[in-house]
Structure 1
């Protein structure tokens, strides 16, 4: 059995990794020739301002008095330049946003996951193509463009990461630091001849990364005074820098300015998903080569923003975020970034028709170069008779379109040339996507076949080893015929040869060959299959159809809950009614009523808003008080049941109560300290980390008796959970745990059935790691319900207070008791632990259910495995590669979550075994019984 679990772990890791190989591979190709316009550019230098985390509406809208928060930028819109909205893509995070702005392509998720400062793949950028680039700002953003640059011409000036403090008194200092350093830089340039000559070169870029707005948004929300005041500070700083450039360069009219943002921010101070407040960012351009404001009488847009912003009379020009990179390259005359997929927004350019047409043609050739390289690579790795080229853009069509575009330019039909180039770019981008996803269907079928085989094998193993369903019909097991082995070996050799001829990556061998041994293992159990068919023929058809429909309906509810959280509410309401439809109601009325009460209470949480949107400290404090009351109730209950506790165990209960009080105090005092902008108190930080560190150790000091140990685990974990809470979610583990306690009792009441020994008192049951198979019974149909309950409760723990599939379901304020200085991985780890705490509580309860019902954990885990794999197969087929980026990302994340759950349960089970069965002694003195 141990070998099976090891193989299962490997198989699931392969299935899990396959999604990254199929959907998350880098779209980048190398080997293209740089493309640039030969005509002289309008600007010698470019200044790029990126106000991190700035929403478009926050910049463009007027305040309560009818005044702009950014008067200088608004004056530019009305009198100097062009403006619009830059539409970002998911994930709306700083790294992919800056890559889209500066390199012109949308970074794949696997690159984002590998870090902020490192480049998992080499990519070209505007900075790399420039003569010189000077950049100031965050140490999390600037280094990746310097590391990706060839030679030594990209210079970065970053402040210490400790400045990125969400609890600091004034986050605008991050922006004033940048403005001050730029001023100092030009002061030095006036007296340093070498630097002076460099900054007066052509093709020069100055990049100012302004992080203050993002930091204030996370700390105080975009509706706060701090966020809005920071916009005014940035506007003043931009005005000063523009004046500085005009003075330094003598107002030569050769400087182009771009002001934009990498992403927006939700009302609750987060970003990462596809809400319009995150994907709509401002774009304001002015200076050399930029079209002046254009008055219009009306504009057609799907939104109502223009009237709200009172900008309906000034021409709005929207772009995709990646389009800004070719715009900047065109303005200063550098080659378009090699991997850019942006389309030059010619409507922003104030230049001749010839320049626009030539620039657009350059853009088309640059994207076409990527298409050719991608096609050549795929053609070389595919057998000639199997290769299917992209039919919409053949070689002859490429030549004809380019020839026609050049002909239009010679005939001075510039608008026609631009339009033709846009069509060519559209086809080339579709072709890039076609070749990038060329093997997706083939790999997907291979993985799906392996998936079905593995689920079938796990189901057969349940019937063979943990069920008596087929034992009555079981005859002497025959060994499989040699032809079966030879046949599968031949299939494996043929598949391997096919992949070898096409020079496929080694991962393709894994995905395509894995189904072969899996299906061989399935067909080896043909005797079990025969016995199953025989048993089903004797089983009442109506009963079989009923069980099957209920099982399928339950799976569908779980799948739908990933899209609609209220489905969990519907499921919990059905759970509440379940005992009243069985004989349990006649045997345990109080237990059934408690089950219904807590099921209905838990059903409320999926109907609540996602965590973080409406923080409420009073609910956190209230949850802490309930934990204290629960602690007292536990002591009283143990005394009534005459459970003896030693001195050390009473000290543990007292320690947990003190820890709860400290947690409530730390949450309260930290909140008020941050409101006063005094930062995170050091002692609060010490207490928070100490509470977290001890949360898994303290329960090991309590008795291994079922109820005391479960109570101790809950109290310890709740102290940490309170520190990580901002609102109603602090009540969630309490209600969930109460339901789990009732679940243990109600499952014990279901033991009145053949094959199960008489039930024990819960007060006498011990958590022990028992591997004696004689202690366990065979599985029955009721155990499928128990396994389904476990999966349902795990999904509820996952989605009960938010939608994990969306990155922005979490508020950074959750971790402010531990740290306020920006640290994405540490903050992410803390929020992950917050997610895992309800998981641990559910798994601990399930461990108790297994013990009280005398079930083999291996058999039950196999049922859970089958249920989760069926769900995963659902999501595998629901994965999208078209539509909005939010739809694509969400469909992939659902699959990843379910696959992670299966793999994760193996490790979580080990943690739960440790938490429930191990016992530590505070000292070696003899025990003194106090109760």
Structure 2
């Protein structure tokens, strides 16, 4: 197989292995075709007003200030006198879209749907708004449209402000909430003189939705405990009180309005959300009005969080709910069908109604979830051969009938309390059944993927031995016959597998996951003669050294796997690497280079021990990083001038980049100061930031292609952007990483010299643009396994050195304030992703340098990297969990996705780094650009 074909096939295989995780774990839980369920008894409320204070934490609302005064006196009075309160527990990701979907539709949106967009609906789902007679919405253009587009007919009306108002640099983001309150008041005032509108508003089953974004925006810009954010809470409280008064006046104090106040997610002390920190998952819930239980005294409440005393609410009954439970609560209050896809359980403690009404409501809730179970069951039966189908035993057809009949009998006999308990048991069984059928094919798909993984890794190892270890064996007639028989045998297996999937009406993706192992193992067994050649070569191999290398690599892989859970393991690994020159004997021959390697390892080892989230911005670190870059660059420029003078244009380019570093450091300081003074983002700073980002891809291509000159140019360009995207100590990370990478290049040269290689080149003479002499490219040695492992280790350091899964998920816009302050999740996310990628590029460029300087084929080293990363991915595949908390499940899947995508990503990033290191833009006399 040619190398190009090999990499194309490898890319396809890894794309398939990457995508399989979405079919196994990220499939949408939604089903369609259920019958709507509603309570036949008259509802207590005719209308409902939903207030969602975006980004409001539970403690920010409930906890009094230092003087003991409540920040939200009106809502506090509701808690103490007129309604029921509690904590709404959200799920990861704690972002606006999934939070609102859980609140209003009653189900937890899968991650793949969240990633597809904020305004468009990747899947159709039912909601409280859709089931209402009319819904009137005011608020953010990022949230409201998705519920309007998801509704059937034309009964959801949205009123949004322009997106430009969502500016984190705004002097007062609370004006977003003021706009909502004013618009609602104006709307009700105008309705009095509009008969058509007035008639609609006086019909039953109306919903009013007020989305209040000011607290979230102020929290991002100034932090949740800031004066701006806390004052915004008071403004929201006063606005809620005004709306209640206006609503009561508009409807003549008929007592038929129910009110719900909650939040979609919370926020960390440092102004971010998305990762699942307790301050993000605990949100307030206050419900009052028609049909709602009034405040109840409770003398002995026990909650694990111990917040009641801190909040001064230990005497008032607290009723906690899951966020999805709010949707059936709102449906029950105004008498509309429960959202068809809801998995929420009606919290009866919030209802002030008869036991008969509560029993009927719980019965409707149970049947609504059972309807989803039935649809799932029917779908799975249709796609499974009957004798292979294993139904969920606690809810067979006969048991479903018994459940329903028994529940109805209990209600008809007036045994309402028993009926409620019975319906809750039915809901629990139906929820377990939904999970059972949702994961029904997981074992089959997982086994196919594991077989494919093992086969692919085995094939890559054999391919390395065949092409880079001189184990080629010419084919014989016997082997040709064997290959034909092997081919026919695997063809039969593939046809039988395809027929099995066809009979079951399986999705097309199942064919890929099931047939790929067949093709991969056929390729492995075709290389049987290579394995025979290896066995015959065993007597001539240094078995002790081989065994030692494999044990160390296996230990190293386990260390990398553990580092995904404990970042401190990377520090341990760096400390071990710091001792490598001493253990290997390099220290006696190259003391200065060995000392540089040791110090750089120890310096970089500090970063995994530092916090990644939970810190306040510290611009001094960023300024220090800029100063160190300027010092190191000027030192290099002086040494280059003395030892090997640069061309005039190269000197000018380096001086320009040094000025650019200083300008970026100034821009960050200026932007930070301007935002603190609430003067907004200066247009000059924004222009500098965006031009720096664009030029960072071009300036290195203008510099000399000599190894250290080009690497320095790349480093300075990338660091400029990194400075603009930094808010604290992470600004020093690429500088320390680059120091270690330069030490790595030097010490690999010493390793080549120690092995007596005649291919060793002087680093100062190496030019990336020169083609490698094929005749000098050597075969792989055992020591090259170490190089490849170092590369994988440094790639993991680049990813986790200043971050982890939580910090990647957590969305803190402060890092991108030099570029924009108006909320735009995709541009902001893209900038933050580029910040994450910059250390990757530094490591990749170093790896490219080592390949060039050691005259080693890049493909051979990359194949070893492929094996190491695939072994890690296989390890993480076994660690994927489908039980426990949502955070545990999501984190385990994220680990697999990261390692799996790393292989694909490195393939693509290697092309980019090759261009960055070896290509050059030539500016001729005619002022035309030429790309060499």
Q: With structure 2 as the length reference, what TM-score do the two structures score?
A: 0.98
Alignment partner, residue 718 of structure 1: 719
Aligned 8 A contact 1:666 1:684 in 2: yes
Deviation at 1:482, TM superposition (A): 1.6
Q: Secondary structure at the residue paired with 1:572?
A: helix
Q: For the residues of structure 1 that align with 2:293 and 2:812, how far apart are their CA atoms?
A: 40
Render the CA deviation track for 1:365-418: whole Å, top value 9, x for unaligned: 000000000000000100001100001111111111211111111221111110
Aligned 8 A contact 1:611 1:801 in 2: no
Query: Does 1:195 pair with 2:197?
Result: yes
Give the one of 301, 307, 310 matched to 1:308.
310
Q: For the residues of structure 2 that align with 1:658 and 1:733, how far apart are their CA atoms?
A: 19
Alignment partner, residue 521 of structure 1: 523
Alignment partner, residue 667 of structure 1: 668
After TM superposition, the structure 1 stretch with the greater mean CA deviation from structure 2, 543-552 or 589-598, is: 543-552
Aligned 8 A contact 1:203 1:333 in 2: yes
Q: For the residues of structure 2 that align with 1:822 and 1:194, how far apart are their CA atoms?
A: 37
Q: Secondary structure at the residue paired with 2:248?
A: helix
Aligned 8 A contact 1:81 1:292 in 2: yes
Q: For the residues of structure 1 that align with 2:544 and 2:760, how far apart are their CA atoms?
A: 32
Aligned 8 A contact 2:38 2:337 in 1: yes
Deviation at 1:754, TM superposition (A): 5.8
After TM superposition, the structure 1 stretch with the greater mean CA deviation from structure 2, 545-554 or 897-906, is: 545-554
After TM superposition, the structure 1 stretch with the greater mean CA deviation from structure 2, 581-590 or 250-259, is: 581-590
Render the CA deviation track for 1:785-813: whole Å, top value 9, x for unaligned: 00000000010000000104554455311
Aligned 8 A contact 2:772 2:852 in 1: no
Residues 2-17 of structure 1: pairs in structure 2 closer than 5 A: 2-17=4-19
Aligned 8 A contact 1:802 1:809 in 2: no
Aligned 8 A contact 1:114 1:120 in 2: yes
Query: Does 1:762 pair with 2:763?
Result: yes
Q: For the residues of structure 1 that align with 2:360 and 2:222, how far apart are their CA atoms?
A: 47
Q: Secondary structure at the residue paired with 2:592?
A: helix
Alignment partner, residue 115 of structure 1: 117
Aligned 8 A contact 2:273 2:812 in 1: no
Alignment partner, residue 656 of structure 1: 657
Aligned 8 A contact 1:271 1:807 in 2: no
After TM superposition, the structure 1 stretch with the greater mean CA deviation from structure 2, 381-390 or 773-782, is: 773-782
Alignment partner, residue 779 of structure 2: 778
Aligned 8 A contact 2:174 2:215 in 1: yes
Alignment partner, residue 507 of structure 2: 505
Alignment partner, residue 706 of structure 2: 705
Render the CA deviation track for 1:98-126: whole Å, top value 9, x for unaligned: 00000000001110000000111110000
Q: Secondary structure at the residue paired with 1:739?
A: helix
Give the one of 261, 285, 288 matched to 1:286.
288
Alignment partner, residue 621 of structure 1: 623
Alignment partner, residue 930 of structure 2: none
The 1:769/1:226 distance shift into structure 2, 3 A limit, reads farther
Aligned 8 A contact 2:571 2:608 in 1: yes
Q: Secondary structure at the residue paired with 1:921?
A: strand
Deviation at 1:481, TM superposition (A): 3.2
Alignment partner, residue 570 of structure 1: 572
Q: For the residues of structure 2 that align with 1:532 and 1:218, how far apart are their CA atoms?
A: 60
Residues 48-447 of structure 1: pairs in structure 2 closer than 5 A: 48-447=50-449
Q: For the residues of structure 2 that align with 1:804 and 1:761, how far apart are their CA atoms?
A: 41
After TM superposition, the structure 1 stretch with the greater mean CA deviation from structure 2, 218-227 or 527-536, is: 527-536
Q: For the residues of structure 2 that align with 1:752 and 1:507, how far apart are their CA atoms?
A: 51
Aligned 8 A contact 1:612 1:811 in 2: no
Q: For the residues of structure 2 that align with 1:767 and 1:539, how far apart are their CA atoms?
A: 35
Q: For the residues of structure 2 that align with 1:409 and 1:248, how far apart are their CA atoms?
A: 38
Query: Does 1:608 pair with 2:610?
Result: yes
Deviation at 1:592, TM superposition (A): 0.3
Query: Does 1:734 pair with 2:735?
Result: yes
Q: For the residues of structure 1 that align with 2:911 and 2:399, how far apart are their CA atoms?
A: 61
The 1:253/1:873 distance shift into structure 2, 3 A limit, reads same
Unpaired runs of at least 5, structure 1:
927-931
Alignment partner, residue 820 of structure 2: 819
Q: Secondary structure at the residue paired with 1:392?
A: helix
Alignment partner, residue 929 of structure 1: none
Q: For the residues of structure 2 that align with 1:474 and 1:554, how far apart are their CA atoms?
A: 36
Q: For the residues of structure 2 that align with 1:133 and 1:622, how far apart are their CA atoms?
A: 54
Alignment partner, residue 551 of structure 1: 553
Q: For the residues of structure 2 that align with 1:824 and 1:193, how far apart are their CA atoms?
A: 41
Deviation at 1:655, TM superposition (A): 1.0
Aligned 8 A contact 2:91 2:886 in 1: yes
Q: For the residues of structure 2 that align with 1:810 and 1:638, how far apart are their CA atoms?
A: 42
Aligned 8 A contact 1:130 1:203 in 2: yes
The 1:289/1:807 distance shift into structure 2, 3 A limit, reads farther
Aligned 8 A contact 1:270 1:808 in 2: no
Aligned 8 A contact 1:805 1:893 in 2: no
Aligned 8 A contact 2:274 2:810 in 1: no
Alignment partner, residue 891 of structure 2: 890
Alignment partner, residue 915 of structure 2: 914
Unpaired runs of at least 5, structure 2:
928-932
Deviation at 1:633, TM superposition (A): 0.7
Deviation at 1:221, TM superposition (A): 1.1
Q: For the residues of structure 2 that align with 1:407 and 1:705, how far apart are their CA atoms?
A: 86
Q: Secondary structure at the residue paired with 2:48?
A: strand
Deviation at 1:510, TM superposition (A): 0.5
Aligned 8 A contact 2:613 2:807 in 1: no
Deviation at 1:483, TM superposition (A): 1.1
Deviation at 1:772, TM superposition (A): 5.3
Aligned 8 A contact 1:798 1:804 in 2: no
The 1:159/1:796 distance shift into structure 2, 3 A limit, reads same
Give the one of 582, 585, 609 matched to 2:584.
582
Deviation at 1:755, TM superposition (A): 7.8
The 1:758/1:376 distance shift into structure 2, 3 A limit, reads closer
The 1:537/1:434 distance shift into structure 2, 3 A limit, reads farther
Aligned 8 A contact 1:447 1:511 in 2: yes
Q: For the residues of structure 2 that align with 1:170 and 1:537, how far apart are their CA atoms?
A: 77
The 1:8/1:545 distance shift into structure 2, 3 A limit, reads same
RMSD of equivalent CA atoms? 1.4
After TM superposition, the structure 1 stretch with the greater mean CA deviation from structure 2, 266-275 or 103-112, is: 266-275
Aligned 8 A contact 2:136 2:157 in 1: yes
The 1:769/1:233 distance shift into structure 2, 3 A limit, reads farther
The 1:595/1:85 distance shift into structure 2, 3 A limit, reads same
Deviation at 1:549, TM superposition (A): 1.5
Deviation at 1:637, TM superposition (A): 1.5
Deviation at 1:236, TM superposition (A): 0.6
Deviation at 1:548, TM superposition (A): 2.2
Render the CA deviation track for 1:303-342: whole Å, top value 9, x for unaligned: 1100100100000000000000000000000000000000
Aligned 8 A contact 1:756 1:777 in 2: no
Aligned 8 A contact 1:611 1:811 in 2: no
After TM superposition, the structure 1 stretch with the greater mean CA deviation from structure 2, 572-581 or 800-809, is: 800-809
Render the CA deviation track for 1:582-630: whole Å, top value 9, x for unaligned: 1211210110010000000000000001056232100101111111111
Q: For the residues of structure 2 that align with 1:307 and 1:474, how far apart are their CA atoms?
A: 81
Aligned 8 A contact 1:611 1:727 in 2: no
